[in-house]
Amino acid sequence: MDADGEREARIVAAKWYELFSRGARDWLRHDEKVREAVRANLPEIIAGADLNSEGARTVRVPVRMLEHHHFRLRRADESQGAGQGKAKPGDVFTDPSKEGQGEKGPGGREEGEVQLLLEFKIDDIVDWLWEEMQLPNLRARVGPSDETDWTREGWDRHGARSRLDRRRSFKEMVKRRGSSAATPNFIDEDLRYRQLARRRQPAVHAVVFFMLDVSGSMSDRDRKLAKTFFFWVVQGLRREYRSLETVFVAHTTEAWEFSEPEFFQVSGSGGTVSSTGLRKVREIIDARYNPGRSNIYLFYATDGDNSVSDAAEARTALATITADACFTGYVEVASGLSRQLATETGRLFAELQAAGCAAGSYAIADFDAVWDAVRHFFTAENEAPAP
Amino acid sequence: MTEDWQGYVRRIEELAARSGLKFHPVDFEAVPDSFMMEIAVYGLPVRMPHWSFGVRYIYQLIQRHMGHSRLFEVVFPGNPGHAYLAQSNGLAENVLVTAHVLGHADFSRNNLLFRRCQEQVSERIVEHAASHARQISAAIEAHGAQRVEVALDAALALEQHIDVDQSLRRGRYPEYAADHKAPADDAFRKRFAALESAAGGTAPEARKRAPVPPHPERDLLWFVANYAPEMESWERDIFLAVREESFYFYPVFATQIMNEGWASYWHARLLREADFIPQQAYVDAIKCHSDVVRPIAADSQVSLSINPYHLGFSMWEKIIATDGLEAARGIMEQDDDFAFVRNHLTRELAEELGLFRYSARSDGKITVLEPDLGALHEAVLAPKYNFGAPIVSAAHVRNDGTLELTHDSGTDGRGLDLERSAKVLAYLQRVWRRPVVLTTVNQAGSALELNAP
């Protein structure tokens, strides 16, 4: 009793500041402002974001702390200060605060730069992007699929105890008894059990082929550009499809399928023969995907230098794919060179487009262009004639 | 243990009064460390919300995690004064802190600068600031957080730009220019007067409207609140609330060396004289004292900043040893840091303390300079000039409402940081609601104009 009273007294004595932190409140407001700022500059930030590898639902964006500005004098080339200790005129030091030791100045005026790593949900970013850019959503191709699911369907007098529908059973009991006021009693006839049935569901399936040229001419930077682009494409498509499969194909003069983590590590050497990659894609489609049921997308990133002798074969191979694919996109990643699609592969896709196929191409020279590319393809997809 | 300390408080107070300290009663309150940290961040226990405090809060958290700052007490002057003590303080620390707080209480009751500002602002700054916070919460309620934030962005950005030489509650400028050209009473004047009477009396002299501002105005918060062409009254209130708090902060800022030194001197002395404190607590408290007034971090030989506790403490010790307590009290009452350092930091003391002056280049190379007492004084005081801010004044309001600001680069020695200044102008423009221009100088020293928008 005494102990209770004491505890109560302590609770009453708990001051407001034990329950509420103004510092934390204003900190949250700061973070909110940072988020607003990030949101206002999304395309640039996306280009620079550190994309966590597969499965992660967040990206980390490094941001600087906001500064509330005051009038300040410009940095002096030379300034005087006062210090204390064992020092003689003419002694020379280097500023310890410039070595990152973080001297605590009076009033905290010269605070060391602090970088925050804010984590953003990819879903949020994609939502913002859609809102911001007003991108048309992709059109989904609905078809029957192998997907089956259990659905609830009807009642039966027999069933597992756990599926007993009490409400329904009670109604049955009331119906049987009419309005007689006897104490409620159930008999077996009254009981109703929910039934489940296996039903095929119309499902929206998509498979995206990412094909990357890893020949000697593709630099690390080119691959990173391609990766960033691919990443946001997956995010965009994933919004539309309940199940999205990704297939990664890399090629030089040969072609291989890779898992996602391996895919971006791969580097090869030697020439570029696009048709090998395209044929590989075709093989995979035939082996694993039914074009009638799946929406097939192909995005191909290369520097565009397909070997001239391969042109005809590449054209045929590509044609077999576009016949079944919802869309094929060509991304020319050639940092440093701005040839604007005037390449062997570029011409190939230009022909496709001219022939009215759902295809598009875009040249990415630097990270800023990644978002433009995403926008380009997704808008183009909407305008493409329905297959 | 808290009870132990409570018992000592009264006895320390009695001892302090016997030693000649004159202070208003002080309310002591032990609070959690987290709250101590917030008081340090906001400068006041309850203050208006603004995201910039959130930024300081993060820095403060980081510093605390690095083990840098440990706060023992924060004291607010007034009648009664408020002292917040960290709950994590041990008995010895609390005994020391109590004595220290009484030193501050004596200082803030008797120092003229403190007294003047308290007379103008309030003797109850803690409650006063809390009422500002409430007023701003009400504004948020009525006008939305976004709009209040716009006003606070501007007001807090200008918080150092006040003029403490003017009264806190100063009226608007006189509407008409004073006629200070009284005509000389010479022969010509007499003849002229005779002429006029012949012409039928003096024409009523048209009074001239005074320009606004009549002179460059350094109290930007006051000027904007009074003369902004299109400001809501609640926005003016926010500006005036921030200004009032700045008037409170000014003496704290401008007497830091004296004030901390005085409090440190008295905690050391009261501890020595307090025979009622157990031996162990005394030893611990003295250890704590030497940590506080330590000039240089334990692991280094040289510090590139001066610990105000140490400097003030050493100066007061010297003054009291040579001139006696009476003289010291006189200095304490009348000076601020500028007078204190310039008059009482002597060559001998500077040498004894190992104070030196250095020149720091922007590439981080630091050279110790030849001793020069006057220059040393100014090097110590330089961060304190003009409330620590560049001298920016309102010079003129154009017919279209454009506000012209000028920076006194001659006094400050160089121009403003352009990037930051442009941001401040942008804040200001959103409440002034007409263009704002600022003149300063560039690297080469030629005039430069910044505009918003």
User: Region B32-48: what's the mean pLDDT?
Assistant: 90
Q: What is the 8-class DSSP label of residue A64?
A: E
Looking at the structure, tell me whether residues B132 and B222 fall in a common domain.
Answer: yes
Rg (CA), chain B: 26
B448/B301 same-domain check: no
Query: Is B354 in contact with A87 (Cβ distance < 8 A)?
Result: yes
Q: What does the pLDDT read at residue A339?
A: 59
pLDDT at B161: 96
Residue where the block lists tokens 């910039």: B52
The predicted complex's ipTM stands at 0.87
pLDDT band of A387, cuts 50, 70, 90: very low
Q: In sequence order, what are the residues at sequence separation of 6 or more whose Cβ sits closer than 8 angstroms to the Cβ of residue B22?
A: B106, B109, B110
What band does A102 get if pLDDT is binned at 50, 70 and 90?
very low
Q: In terms of domains, do B134 and B247 share one?
A: yes
Domain ranges of chain A: 2-67+114-133, 143-202, 204-383
Work out the average pLDDT over B128-144. 94
pLDDT of amino acid B381? 95
Domain C-terminal end among B388, B421, B444: B388
Neighboring chain A residues of B421 at a CB cutoff of 8 Å: 69, 71-72
Shortest distance between the Cα of B377 and any Cα of chain A, in A, equals: 9
Query: Which position has the higher pLDDT, B189 or B241?
Result: B241
Q: What's residue A36's pLDDT?
A: 83
* pLDDT greater than 70 at residue A51: no
Question: Predicted confidence band at A3 (pLDDT cuts at 50, 70, 90)?
Answer: very low
**pLDDT tens digits for range B420-443:** 999 999 999 999 999 999 999 988
Adjacency order of strands within the sheet including B26-31:
B26-31, B81-86, B73-76
Assess contact for B402 and B438: CB atoms under 8 A: no
The reply to whether residue A93 touches residue B304, judged by beta carbons under 8 angstroms, is yes
Confidence of residue A56 (pLDDT cuts 50, 70, 90): low
B414, B425: one domain? yes
Could you tell me if B133 and B226 lie in one domain? Answer: yes
Please state, in angstroms and as integers, the Cα–Cα distance from residue A31 to each residue in A39, A42, B87, B133, B423, following that order: 12, 16, 30, 21, 19
Distance separating alpha carbons of residues A272 and A250, to the nearest angstrom: 11
**pLDDT attached to residue B450:** 93
CA angle B398, B401, B406 (to 5 degrees): 55
**A99: closest CA of chain B, how far (Å):** 9
Q: Is A304 left (phi over 0), alpha (psi -120 to 50) or beta?
A: left
Answer positive or negative: Cα dihedral of A234, A237, A239, A243: negative
Q: Do the domain assignments include residue B200?
A: no
Option in B69, B153, B421 nearest A71 (CB)? B421
Say whether A245 sits in a helix, a strand or coil. strand
Task: Calculate how close chain B gets to A19, using CA atoms only, in Å.
Answer: 10
Mean pLDDT of chain A: 74
Residues B161 and B392 sit within 8 Å (Cβ to Cβ): yes
Average pLDDT over residues B178-183: 63
Say whether pLDDT at A42 is over 80: no
Q: What is the mean pLDDT of residues A222-251?
A: 79
Tokens for B367, please give them: 């050279």
Residue A119 dihedral angles phi and psi, to the nearest 5°: -105, 130
Q: What is the mean pLDDT of residues A248-276?
A: 80
Q: Is B33 on the interface with A (CB under 8 A)?
A: no
Which residue of chain A is at minimal alpha-carbon distance from B150?
A68
Domain boundary among the residues B370, B388, B406 is at B388
- B374 shares its domain with B403: no
What pLDDT was estimated at residue A11?
43
Max distance between CA atoms of chain B, in angstroms, equals: 98
Q: Are strands A243-251 and A205-213 parallel, antiparallel or unpaired?
A: parallel
On whether both B355 and B367 belong to a single domain, the answer is yes
Gyration radius from chain A CA atoms: 32
Is the domain of B247 the same as that of B394?
A: yes
pLDDT at A141 over 90: no
Q: Which spans in A178-256 are helix H?
A: 220-240
Q: Tell me the sheet residues that pair with B303.
A: A84
Give B49 or A121, the one with higher predicted confidence: B49
Mean pLDDT of the A93-101 span? 57
Q: Is the pLDDT of residue A47 over 70?
A: no
Tell me which chain B residues have a C-beta less than 8 angstroms from the C-beta of A33: 51
CB atoms < 10 A from the CB of B18, how many? 10
Average pLDDT over residues B94-98: 90
Identity of the residue numbered B313: F
CA distance to A75, B356, B361, B378, B417, per residue, from B365 (Å) = 15, 16, 5, 21, 22
In a shared domain, residues B366 and B420: no
Kindly state the average pLDDT of the residues A71-93. Answer: 87
Least trusted range by pLDDT, from B12-21, B187-196, B345-354, B362-371: B187-196
Determine the pLDDT at residue B338.
96
**Count of domains observed in chain B:** 2
- pLDDT classification of B67: cutoffs 50, 70, 90: low
- Mutation to test the B interface, candidates A84, A94, A101, most B Cβ within 10 Å: A84
Exposure string (b/e) for A85-102, b if CB count within 10 Å is 16 or more?
Answer: bebeeeeebebbbeeeee
pLDDT surpasses 80 at B149: yes
Across the strands, what pairs with B83?
B28, B75
Instruction: List the single residue in B with minimal CA-CA distance to A74.
Output: B417
Q: Answer yes or no: is pLDDT of A52 > 90.
A: no
Q: Where are the beta strands (DSSP E) in B22-138?
A: 26-31, 73-76, 81-86
Given pLDDT bands bounded at 50, 70 and 90, which one contains residue A205? confident
Q: Which residues of B52-73 are buried (b: 16+ CB within 10 A; e: fewer)?
A: bbbbbbbebbebbeeeeeebbb
d(CA A360, CA A162) in angstroms, rounded, equals: 54
- Rounded to a whole number of angstroms, the distance from the CA of A58 to the nearest CA of chain B is 23
Is residue B158 included in any domain, yes or no? yes
Nearest residue to A284 (alpha-carbon basis) of A324, A312, A226, A237: A324
Q: Could you say which of B300, B375, B417 has the minimum Cβ distance to residue A72?
A: B417
In angstroms, the CA B32 to CA B99 distance is 20
Show the domain range for B399.
125-169+212-252+390-452
Whether the CB of B308 is below 8 Å from some CB of chain A: the reply is yes
Does a cis peptide bond (omega within 30 degrees of 0) precede residue A385?
no
Q: Which of B356, B359, B427 should we substitute to test contact with A (largest number of A Cβ atoms within 10 Å)?
A: B356
Euclidean distance between CA atoms A286 and A205, whole angstroms: 16
Cβ neighbours of B146 in A, within 8 Å: none
Of the ranges A75-84, A224-233, A234-243, B383-392, which one carries the lowest mean pLDDT score?
A: A234-243
Q: Which residue of A has its CA nearest to B55?
A: A27
Residue B416 belongs to some domain of the structure: yes
- Partner-chain contact A66 B55, CB within 8 Å: yes
pLDDT, tens digit (0-9, with 9 covering 90-100), for A286-298 = 888 877 777 788 8
What is the mean pLDDT of the segment spanning B105-117? Answer: 94
Instruction: Give B235's contacts (C-beta < 8 A, 6+ positions apart).
Output: B151, B228, B431
Above 80 in pLDDT, residue B121? yes
**Which positions 115-174 of B are in contact with A (Cβ < 8 Å)?**
153, 156-161
Whole-angstrom Cα distance, residue A305 to residue A319? 19
Report the gap between the CA of A174 and the closest CA in chain B (Å). Answer: 56
Predicted local distance difference test score (pLDDT) of residue A126: 73
Dist. CA B231–CA B411, nearest whole Å: 32
Task: Identify the burial level of A365 via C-beta atoms within 10 angstroms of its C-beta, where 0-12 means exposed, 13-18 middle and 19 or more buried.
Answer: middle
Q: Which of B274, B305, B247, B268 is nearest to B115 (CA)?
A: B247
| Residue B229 forms part of a structural domain | yes
pLDDT in tens, A366-383: 777 777 787 777 765 444
Instruction: Tell me the fold of A204-383.
Output: Rossmann fold (3.40.50)
pLDDT, residue B1, reads 46
Pick the most confident of A114-123, A238-247, B153-162, B356-365.
B153-162
Secondary-structure breakdown of chain B: helix, strand, coil percentages, each rounded to the nearest 5: 55, 15, 30
From B336, B362, B388, give the residue that closes a domain: B388
Most confident residue range from A321-325, B199-203, B374-378, B412-416: B374-378
Whether B362 and B400 share a structural domain: no
Which of A77-91, A101-115, A243-257, B188-202 is predicted least confidently?
A101-115
**Do B331 and B424 belong together in one domain?**
no
Note whether residue B268 is domain-resident: no
Q: Are A82 and B355 in contact (CB under 8 A)?
A: yes
Q: Which residues of A touch B355 (CB under 8 A)?
A: 82-84
Q: Using CB atoms, which residue from A30, A70, A88 is nearest to B420?
A: A70
**Mean pLDDT computed over A342-359:** 78
Residue whose entry in the numeric block shows the structure tokens 């003295």? B286
In chain A, how long is the greatest CA-to-CA distance? 111
Cα(B15)–Cα(B271) distance, integer angstroms: 10
Give yes or no for residue B16 having a pLDDT over 80.
Answer: yes
Q: Check B55 against A74: CB less than 8 A apart.
A: no
Place of tokens 């408020």: B82
pLDDT at B295: 79
- What mean pLDDT do residues A25-52 have? 75
Summarize pLDDT for B277-297 with one digit per residue, the tens.
888 888 888 888 888 888 777
A30, A77, A107 ranked by CB distance to B55: nearest: A30
The answer to whether residue B22 is domain-embedded is: no
* Domain assignment of residue B262, yes or no: no
- Mean pLDDT over residues B407-423, rounded? 91
pLDDT higher than 50, residue A137: no
